C-alpha cells in the first residue's frame, strides 16, 4: 500500500519536477517549435449548414413541386456523398438530439450553433412539408434507399410493433445524455463505419447486417430504429403541406397500392361499420383505463431497473467496483481502478457523485418507463379505433416523402 | 346529427390541426430559445489533459481512426535533451544507440539526432506514431514529461461522441473550445501541473 502511494506520488509529481534542466546549447542550436495543427475551420462548418439548408429546400421542391422521384434520387445521392462519405456522417440530425438534451441538462455544455441548426431545421421543414429530410438529405436514409432492391411487406401489425423500438431508443438516448453518461445514438451508429470505411468488428457486423436486411425490408434503420424518426413522425402528422399520391383526385385505380416500399400507403376504408353508442363508450372507457395502467406499469418497471440502467455510467460503475470488490475477486485490477487510485480523488467524493447520478436515474427510470408505457398503451388503443378514408393516402407519420408513389399515379396534373 | 354536422366536423379537424401545428411551432421555438441561451459560437473539439493521463494505451486502440488521431507531441521547451532518454530507450538499456531492440516505441516513430555532446534531440514522426503512450510513460517516469499525448486536431474527425473519451479510464478527455484546441502541459501556459495535496 505504501509502495502504491509512493508510486502514485511519483507519477503526479513528475509534472512538477523539471528533473533535467533544459541545456544551454553552444552550437547555436535553435529549439524547434512544437507544431499544433488547427481543427477544421469554422467557415467550413458554416458551409456545411448552408449546404444542408439548400439540400432541404431542393428536396422539398423536388417532392412537392416537381413530384419527381428522379430528382429526389439525385439529391439523395449528393447528400450521401457529402454528408455521408465526405463529412463522414458527423454531426447529424439524429445524433444532435443528444447535444440538445445535454445543453438542456448540463450546466457546462454550450451547444454549437451548427448542431442546433442540424437539429431544428428538419423538424421545422417537416412541420411545413412532411418528412422531406428523410427523403433526400439524411445520409443514412439515402444509403438504405439505394439498396432497397426487393422490398417485401411485413404487414401493418408487425410494422406497428417494431415501430415502438424507436421510442424506446429515443427515451434511453435522452436519459443517457441528460445524465451526461453516454451518447448511445453515436455509440451504436450502424452506418458511420461505412462512411469512414473504418469500423470495429461489431459495428461492421451491425451495419452490414442492417444493410443486408435492408435489401428486403426497405430502410430498416429509419423505420424501426431511428430515434429522430419519432420526432419527425409526430410532427409530420400535422404537417401543413404533405406529399399526396395524386396531384388532384384519386380515381381509385389501385396502381399505387404496392408502390411504397415502406408500407406507408393507407388503403381506403369506406365500409362503415356503425357501432352502437354503448360499444363506443365502452371502447373509450377501456382506452382511458388502459393508458394510465401502462404508464404506471412502465414507470414502475423503469424505476426498478434504474440501477441496471445506471451501470452504463462510468462513475457509478467505479463506485460499484469499490463497494463490491468481491465481485471482481481474482481478476486483475481494472485500468479504471488504477487510474482512479492514481488520481488521488477521495472515495467519498466518488460515492457522493455516484449516488447523485443514481438518483437521477431513478427519476429518469420513472419518466422513461412511463413514456414507453404511454406509447405501448397508445399503440393498443389505436388498434381499437377505426379511421375512415375514401382515397389512397400516404400515412403522414411514416411516409418518408420519397416520391416513389407519384410515378405510379396515372393522374399527372 | 350525422348529416348536419358533416361540414362542422371537417372544420373541427382543420381547427385541431392548426392548433397542434401552432403548438409544435411554439414548442420548437421554446426549445430553441432554451437551448440557444447556452449556445456557443465556435464549437468544440476533443482534447485530453496530459496532467490526468495515465498512459493506459487505450488512445491507440479506442479511436475510430486507424491509426489513432491521438499522437505523442514533443514539447521541446521542456525537454532535457538527455542522452539516456526514458521515452526513447527500453528500461535498463546499457548501450545508448539507435538499435531497434533498444527502442521503447513499438513503431520506431521517435528519431534521435545528435545535437552536441551530450545532448540529443528527439523528434516524433507522427506518420508512424500510433498514440500508445509508451514513450510518454517513460518520459514521465524518468524524465521531464516533455512527451505528451494530444489529439491532433488536423487528424481528428471530431466525432459527436469521442470513442477514446468514452474509454478513457481517468476522464482526461473533455470538449475544449475550438479556438484553444490543445491542452499541453507547457511551462508558462497556465496549464500548470496538478498540485500535490497529500501523501
Question: Tens of pLDDT along A77-94?
Answer: 999 999 999 999 888 999
Identify the closest residue of chain A to B17 by CA–CA distance.
Answer: A238
Q: Do B145 and A15 touch (CB under 8 A)?
A: yes
- What is residue A16's predicted lDDT score, i.e. its pLDDT? 45
Interval A235-255: pLDDT, tens: 999 999 999 999 999 999 999
- What is residue B9's predicted lDDT score, i.e. its pLDDT? 59
* CA gap A211, A237 in Å, rounded: 28
Q: Measure CB to CB from residue A182 to each of B41, B157, B166 and give the nearest one.
A: B166
- What is residue A325's predicted lDDT score, i.e. its pLDDT? 72
The fraction of chain A above a pLDDT of 70, given in percent, is 94
Mean pLDDT of A281-300: 92
Q: Indicate whether A17 pLDDT > 70.
A: no
Tell me the pLDDT band of A3, cut-offs 50, 70 and 90: very low
- What is residue A388's predicted lDDT score, i.e. its pLDDT? 83
Interval A130-181: pLDDT, tens: 999 999 999 999 999 999 999 999 998 999 999 999 999 999 999 999 999 9
Q: Do B20 and A38 touch (CB under 8 A)?
A: no
Tell me the pLDDT band of A222, cut-offs 50, 70 and 90: very high
3-state secondary structure string, A172-192? HHHHHHHCCCCCHHHHCCCCH
Interval A199-219: pLDDT, tens: 888 888 999 999 999 999 999
Mean pLDDT of A309-327: 85
Q: Measure CB to CB from residue A19 to each of B34, B121, B143 and give the nearest one.
A: B143
* Of B189, B192, B183, B193, residue with least CA distance to B153: B183
* Of A159, A98, A19, residue with least CA distance to B79: A19
**Rounded mean pLDDT of chain A?**
89
Mean pLDDT of A44-59: 95
Sign of CA dihedral B108, B110, B111, B116: negative
- What is residue B191's predicted lDDT score, i.e. its pLDDT? 46
User: Can you give the residue ranges of every domain in chain A?
Assistant: 43-271+392-408, 277-327+334-384
Q: Measure CB to CB from residue A20 to each of B144, B163, B194 and give the nearest one.
A: B144
* Of B44, B43, B53, B42, residue with least CA distance to B150: B53
- What is residue B130's predicted lDDT score, i.e. its pLDDT? 96
For chain B, positions 53-82, list CB contacts with chain A under 8 A. 54, 56, 58, 64-66, 73-82
Residue A286 sits at the chain B interface (C-beta within 8 Å): no
Residue B12 sits at the chain A interface (C-beta within 8 Å): no
Interval A391-410: pLDDT, tens: 999 999 999 999 999 999 99
Answer with the residue of higher pLDDT: A82 or A27: A82
Query: In a mutagenesis test of the A interface, which of B24, B49, B151 is the best target, namely the one with the most A β-carbons within 10 Å?
Result: B24
Tell me the pLDDT band of A321, cut-offs 50, 70 and 90: confident
Residues 6+ apart with CB under 8 A from A330: none
Instruction: List chain A residues with CB under 8 Å of B186.
Output: 34
* Grid cell locating A156: 401493418
Q: Please, which residues bridge with residue B149 across strands?
A: B72
Within chain B, which residues score under 70 in pLDDT?
1-10, 40-42, 188-199
> What are the backbone dihedrals phi and psi of residue B173, each rounded to the nearest 5 degrees, phi first?
-90, 135
Instruction: List chain B residues with CB under 8 Å of A339.
Output: 54, 56, 169-170
Whether A403 contacts A62, CB under 8 Å? yes
Whether A232 contacts A131, CB under 8 Å? yes
Residue B111 sits at the chain A interface (C-beta within 8 Å): no
* Grid cell locating A183: 451518447
Q: Measure CB to CB from residue A343 to each of B64, B73, B170 and give the nearest one.
A: B170
Instruction: List chain B residues with CB under 8 Å of A124.
Output: 28
Query: In a mutagenesis test of the A interface, which of B57, B153, B161 is the best target, namely the one with the most A β-carbons within 10 Å?
Result: B161
Element (H, E) at B45: strand B44-48
Q: Please, which residues bridge with residue A23 across strands?
A: none
ipTM of the complex: 0.82
CATH of domain B44-177: 3.30.70
Helix axes A165-178, A228-236, angle to 10 degrees: 120
Q: Do B52 and A343 touch (CB under 8 A)?
A: yes
Interval A329-363: pLDDT, tens: 566 678 888 888 888 889 999 999 999 999 999 99
Amino acid at each position: 500500500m505504501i509502495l502504491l502511494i509512493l508510486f502514485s506520488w511519483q507519477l503526479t509529481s513528475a509534472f512538477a519536477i523539471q528533473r533535467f534542466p533544459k541545456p544551454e546549447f553552444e552550437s547555436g542550436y535553435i529549439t524547434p517549435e512544437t507544431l499544433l495543427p488547427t481543427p477544421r475551420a469554422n467557415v467550413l462548418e458554416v458551409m456545411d449548414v448552408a449546404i444542408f439548408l439548400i439540400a432541404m429546400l431542393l428536396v422539398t421542391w423536388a417532392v412537392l413541386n416537381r413530384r419527381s422521384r428522379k430528382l429526389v434520387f439525385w439529391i439523395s445521392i449528393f447528400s450521401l456523398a457529402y454528408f455521408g462519405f465526405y463529412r463522414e456522417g458527423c454531426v447529424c440530425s439524429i445524433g444532435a438530439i443528444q447535444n440538445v438534451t445535454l445543453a438542456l441538462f448540463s450546466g457546462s455544455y454550450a451547444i454549437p450553433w451548427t448542431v442546433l441548426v442540424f437539429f431544428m431545421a428538419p423538424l421545422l421543414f417537416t412541420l411545413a412539408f412532411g418528412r422531406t429530410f428523410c427523403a433526400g438529405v439524411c445520409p443514412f436514409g439515402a444509403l438504405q434507399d439505394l439498396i432497397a432492391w426487393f422490398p417485401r411487406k411485413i404487414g401493418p401489425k408487425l410494422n406497428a410493433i417494431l415501430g415502438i423500438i424507436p421510442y424506446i431508443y429515443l427515451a434511453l438516448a435522452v436519459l443517457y445524455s441528460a445524465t451526461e453518461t453516454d451518447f448511445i445514438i453515436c455509440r451504436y451508429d450502424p452506418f458511420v463505419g461505412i462512411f469512414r470505411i473504418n469500423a470495429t468488428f461489431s459495428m461492421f457486423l451491425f451495419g452490414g447486417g442492417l444493410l443486408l436486411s435492408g435489401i428486403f425490408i426497405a430502410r430498416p434503420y429509419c423505420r424501426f430504429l431511428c430515434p429522430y424518426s419519432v420526432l419527425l413522425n409526430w410532427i409530420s402528422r400535422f404537417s401543413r403541406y404533405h406529399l399526396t399520391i395524386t396531384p388532384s383526385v384519386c380515381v381509385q385505380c389501385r396502381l399505387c397500392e404496392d408502390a411504397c416500399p415502406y408500407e406507408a400507403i393507407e388503403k381506403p376504408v369506406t365500409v362503415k361499420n356503425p357501432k352502437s353508442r354503448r360499444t363506443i363508450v365502452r371502447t373509450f372507457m377501456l382506452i382511458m383505463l388502459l393508458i394510465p395502467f401502462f404508464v404506471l406499469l412502465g414507470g414502475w418497471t423503469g424505476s426498478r431497473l434504474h440501477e441496471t440502467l445506471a451501470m452504463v455510467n462510468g462513475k457509478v460503475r467505479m463506485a460499484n467496483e469499490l463497494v463490491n470488490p468481491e465481485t471482481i475477486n481474482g481478476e486483475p485490477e481494472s485500468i479504471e481502478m488504477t487510474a482512479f487510485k492514481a488520481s488521488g480523488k477521495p472515495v467519498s467524493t466518488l460515492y457522493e457523485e455516484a449516488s447523485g447520478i443514481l438518483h437521477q436515474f431513478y427519476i429518469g427510470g420513472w419518466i422513461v418507463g412511463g413514456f414507453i408505457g404511454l406509447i405501448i398503451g397508445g399503440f393498443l388503443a389505436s388498434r381499437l379505433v377505426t379511421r375512415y378514408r375514401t382515397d389512397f393516402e400516404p400515412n403522414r407519420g411514416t411516409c418518408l416523402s420519397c416520391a416513389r408513389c407519384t410515378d405510379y399515379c396515372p393522374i399527372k396534373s | 346529427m350525422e348529416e348536419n354536422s358533416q361540414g362542422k366536423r371537417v372544420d373541427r379537424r382543420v381547427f385541431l390541426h392548426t392548433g397542434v401545428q401552432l403548438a409544435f411551432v411554439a414548442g420548437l421555438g421554446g426549445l430553441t430559445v432554451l437551448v440557444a441561451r447556452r449556445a456557443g459560437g465556435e464549437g468544440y473539439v476533443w482534447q485530453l489533459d496530459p496532467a490526468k493521463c495515465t498512459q493506459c494505451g487505450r488512445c491507440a486502440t479506442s479511436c475510430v481512426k486507424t491509426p489513432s488521431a491521438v499522437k505523442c507531441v514533443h514539447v521541446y521547451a521542456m525537454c532535457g535533451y538527455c542522452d539516456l532518454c526514458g521515452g526513447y530507450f527500453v528500461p535498463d538499456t546499457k548501450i545508448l544507440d539507435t538499435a531497434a531492440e533498444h527502442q521503447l516505441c513499438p513503431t520506431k516513430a521517435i528519431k534521435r539526432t545528435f545535437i552536441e555532446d551530450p545532448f540529443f534531440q528527439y523528434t516524433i514522426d507522427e506518420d508512424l506514431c500510433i498514440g500508445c503512450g509508451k514513450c510518454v510513460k517513460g518520459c514521465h517516469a524518468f524524465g521531464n514529461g516533455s512527451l505528451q499525448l494530444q489529439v491532433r486536431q488536423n487528424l481528428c474527425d471530431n466525432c459527436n461522441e469521442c470513442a477514446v473519451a468514452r474509454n478513457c479510464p481517468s476522464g482526461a478527455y473533455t470538449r475544449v473550445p475550438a479556438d484553444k484546441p490543445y491542452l499541453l502541459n507547457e511551462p508558462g501556459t497556465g496549464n500548470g501541473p496538478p498540485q500535490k495535496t497529500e501523501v
